[in-house]
Amino acid sequence: MFSSSQLDGFTPSQFANSTPSPARLSRETQGLVPATVKMISEASQSGDEKSNFIIDGVDVANVTAVGMAFNKNSRPSDIRFQLDDGTGRIECIRWVTEKIDTKEMDAIEDGTYVRVNGHLQSYQGKKQLSAFSVRLVTNFDEVTCHFLECIHFHLQNSKAQSQGAALAPQRADSSFSTPVRGASNAQQPASTNDFSMQYNSDGLKSFDKLVLNYLQQPSNIDREMGVHVDELSQQLKVPVAKIKDAIEFLEREGLVYSSIDDYHYKAVEGL
């Protein structure tokens, strides 16, 4: 798909000597971590009770990857394909439990660019992704942006390792932080101005956390289609534009993802 010279700039090893701002190393499980296939293939298993993988010293359960789909194989129970991002290939499995799962995969053909959000696992010694979201990439800036996010993730954690940061669980800064479930104020009305500069312990502004809490309610987690931005606007009593700003931030942080279209969103599960 890509030549090695085209993608040398995107492999984590090329940036090990860069000097970004220091970041604290975290062994705490992150949200949705941007990764290349090379990063995934080099991940080691943590060996603890969570059976997560370690990428750049960070416990990782769920990843987001971008590449081209190949060798699509549809079966009644699942749809499998290979994801190639130029750094390697990995098998992806989308289990078919609802009609919406089949509809999502109908648009995916061999040779199309896709974004896969999924749970990283190992089967018979080979790593694979159990996908909970697969969607077409329609803006190719997304491919470049994804690789930049992978570079950023690698740099902020490898820099902390090189500085001898302690491996005790702590936040690696606000990026890719883990959602916190069960807040009781998820549906309380809030004015736009109430949350302008308030941050809580996990680095989220209060309004962003309010949106996340609503998406993390069990009834919303169980909704296959996700929650529409209009519903969030009505329930939280703020303009749709404010909701979209919060969603955009949470999506960058790897805490939520779009489901059937750009108006329906779900919180990341399995943390």
The pLDDT tens digits of the residues spanning 126-157 come to 899 999 889 999 888 999 999 999 998 888 88
Evaluate whether residue 172 is within a structural domain: no
Give the residue with greater pLDDT, 105 vs 182.
105
Q: Which residue segment(s) compose the domain that 200 sits in?
A: 192-267
241 falls within a domain: yes
114 or 213: whose pLDDT is higher? 114
Q: Are residues 158 and 68 part of one domain?
A: yes
Average pLDDT rounded to a whole number, residues 226-236: 86
Q: Of 118, 143, 162, which residue sits at a domain end?
A: 162
Alpha carbon separation from 126 to 2, 13, 44, 237 (Å, rounded): 23, 22, 12, 47
The chain-wide mean pLDDT, for the chain, equals 74
Q: Domain check: are 71 and 10 in the same one?
A: yes
pLDDT at 46 over 50: yes
The mean pLDDT value for 185-204 works out to 41
Q: What is the b/e burial string over 174-189, where b = at least 16 CB atoms within 10 angstroms of the residue's CB?
A: ebbbbbbeeeeebeee
Residue 177 included in any domain: no
Three-state DSSP state, 37: helix
Instruction: Please check the confidence at residue 186 and state whether its pLDDT lies above 50.
Output: no
Query: pLDDT band at 22, cuts 50/70/90?
Result: very low
Residue 39 vs residue 220, higher pLDDT: 39
- pTM value is 0.55
Length of the chain: 271
Whether residues 121 and 200 fall in one domain: no
CA distance 245 to 119: 26
139 plus 32 within the same structural domain: yes
CA distances from 94 to 46, 100, 237 (A): 25, 11, 36
Strands (E), the chain: 32-34, 44-45, 53-55, 58-60, 62-74, 78-84, 89-95, 113-123, 126-136, 227-228, 256-258, 264-267
Per the domain annotation, does 179 fall within a domain? no
pLDDT of residue 170: 40
Q: Is the same domain home to 61 and 120?
A: yes
For residue 67, pLDDT over 90 is answered with yes
170 lies in a domain? no
Closest by CA position to 60, among listed 47, 48, 45, 41: 45
Q: Are 15 and 134 part of one and the same domain?
A: yes
Structure tokens at 128: 């694979």
> Which tops the pLDDT comparison, 170 or 69?
69
Give the pLDDT score at 80: 94
Q: How confident is the model at residue 241 (pLDDT cuts 50, 70, 90)?
A: confident
Question: Do 49 and 148 sit in the same domain of this protein?
Answer: yes
Phi–psi pair at 34, nearest 5 degrees? -70, 135
Residues 251 and 154 in one domain: no
Same-domain check for residues 118 and 206: no
Instruction: For residue 181, tell me if it sits in a domain.
Output: no
User: Domain check: are 147 and 209 in the same one?
Assistant: no
Tell me, yes or no, whether 186 lies in a domain.
Answer: no
53 and 11 share a domain?
A: yes
CATH number for position 246: 1.10.10.10
The more confident residue out of 200 and 70 is 70
Angle at 141 between CA 135 and CA 143, to 5 degrees: 55
What pLDDT score does 238 carry? 84
Candidates 162, 179, 182; CA nearest to 250 is 179
Same domain, 140 and 12: yes
**Residue where a domain stops, chosen among 108, 140, 162:** 162
Nearest to 58 by CA among 41, 42, 46: 46
**Which residue(s) pair with 133 in the sheet?**
117
- Please indicate, yes or no, if residue 72 is contained in any of the structural domains: yes
Question: What's the CATH number where 118 sits?
Answer: 2.40.50.140
The lowest-confidence range among 11-20, 39-48, 83-92 is 11-20
Please state the domain count of the chain: 2
